[in-house]
Amino acid sequence: MTDQTVTRIQVGGTAGHDPYEVLVGRQLLGELPALVGPKAKRVAVLHPEALEGTGEALRQDLADQGYEAVAIQVPNAEEAKTVEVAAYCWKALGQTGFTRTDVIIGVGGGATTDLAGFVAATWLRGVRWIAVPTTVLAMVDAAVGGKTGINTAEGKNLVGAFHPPAGVLCDLAALDSLGVHDYVSGMAEIIKAGFIADPAILDLVESDPEGARTPSGPHTAELIERSIRVKAEVVSNDLKESGLREILNYGHTLAHAIEKNERYKWRHGAAVSVGMVFAAELGRLAGRLDDATADRHRSVLESVGLPLTYRGDQWPKLLETMKVDKKSRGDLLRFIVLDGLAKPTVLEGPDPAVLLAAYGEVSA
């Protein structure tokens, strides 16, 4: 991919919300003023502590374009997703005189873009925002689809709003400095997209697992673009998770329980990897999924260095956590499983013995 190549993927326009574009390429910051638009007078650049330099450079760039630009620094990763940090951002916007035509830009990983979107959704009942994701996970998952939110002591993303961005800039150059564990963590969401919708992703990973572990791999841009297209198509048809969008939660029911159990010290992708192996076993044990596709989960995830197991003694705690998962309906546990490759479906209220047996397959 040359520096001049920009791929534009449209999201929305079919489910009653305004369409927006996800741009994928390199050196994309020149696209920002067009997204901010002529009506905005003020721009707030919300960034994590770790990206102070990036946030300041972006703020300066916007100031040079004539905007009143401020930078709002928030804690790194999941620590940013609290009501206290959101309140700090609201205070900063209030002190800046932020109006309904002004724009928030969230620069960083998924936690930062989740927070930025939530702050934008709640300030003056909704102002425009732009996502500038800097991790694989944020590019293919968090920044696309308009789900915004913060965590509470009771769980992840239990407080939030559907508030799609005005645009998303996925500058692949940001991935060059990403640590290998963070990069590989994002691969879990890419592999998920392969299993639920686009098997070509799995073929690309299997053709060069070592290359899939690094941003300099030959298929990086294609893997990211394909994953974004999967998500874009789903959320364009179901913004508010009334049906189809649930398939994006493949592997996530157990994953969120593991994350909570680990007090969010585990990377999201690592938890999703274990969650997908569990979902594959659940599908197999429920008579839905063939052995070859179930086994393929393990081989593909392991080939890029993602974990396949979790502590066996934690099952009772994980089960309790899953019962308050957002996908549950009343007391009925719901899981996304596969009827076959790229054939996701819902499994409601599975037999507790089947759940336990499936967990036995991922127990370390």
Binding-site annotation, residues: 110-114, 134-135, 147, 156, 189, 252, 268
From the candidates 125, 263, 265, 329, which is the catalytic residue?
Answer: 125
Active site residue 225: no
From the candidates 42, 59, 268, 297, which is the catalytic residue?
Answer: 268
Active site residue 100: no
What does the alpha-carbon distance between residue 84 and residue 107 come to, in Å, rounded to a whole number?
19
Q: What share of the chain is helix, strand, coil (3-state, %, to 5)?
A: 50, 20, 30
Q: Where are the alpha helices (DSSP H) in 286-341?
A: 291-303, 315-322
DSSP string, 340-361: STT-EEEEES--HHHHHHHHHT
For residue 86, the number of C-alpha atoms closer than 13 Å in the C-beta half-sphere is: 23
Active site residue 39: no
From the candidates 249, 281, 296, 298, which is the catalytic residue?
Answer: 249
- Which residues are known binding-site members for NAD(+)? 110-114, 134-135, 147, 156
Active site residue 47: no
Degrees to nearest 5, angle at CA 193 with 191 and 198: 105
Buried b vs exposed e over 121-157: b needs ≥16 C-beta within 10 Å? bbbeeebbbbbbbbbbbbbbbbbbbbbbbbbeeebbb
From the candidates 226, 256, 260, 297, which is the catalytic residue?
Answer: 256
Active site residue 245: yes
Cα–Cα distances in angstroms (integers) from residue 291 to residues 212, 252, 281, in the given order: 25, 21, 9
Active site residue 147: yes
From the candidates 56, 222, 241, 262, which is the catalytic residue?
Answer: 241
From the candidates 59, 81, 229, 231, which is the catalytic residue?
Answer: 231
What does the alpha-carbon distance between residue 204 and residue 68 come to, in Å, rounded to a whole number?
44
Active site residue 125: yes
> How many whole angstroms from its chain centre is CA 254?
16
From the candidates 59, 147, 192, 226, which is the catalytic residue?
Answer: 147
What does the alpha-carbon distance between residue 46 and residue 71 come to, in Å, rounded to a whole number?
6
Active site residue 157: no
From the candidates 21, 31, 189, 246, which is the catalytic residue?
Answer: 189
Active site residue 241: yes
From the candidates 192, 226, 252, 297, which is the catalytic residue?
Answer: 252
- Which residues are known binding-site members for Zn(2+)? 189, 252, 268
- What is the set of active-site residues? 125, 147, 189, 231, 241, 245, 249, 252, 256, 268
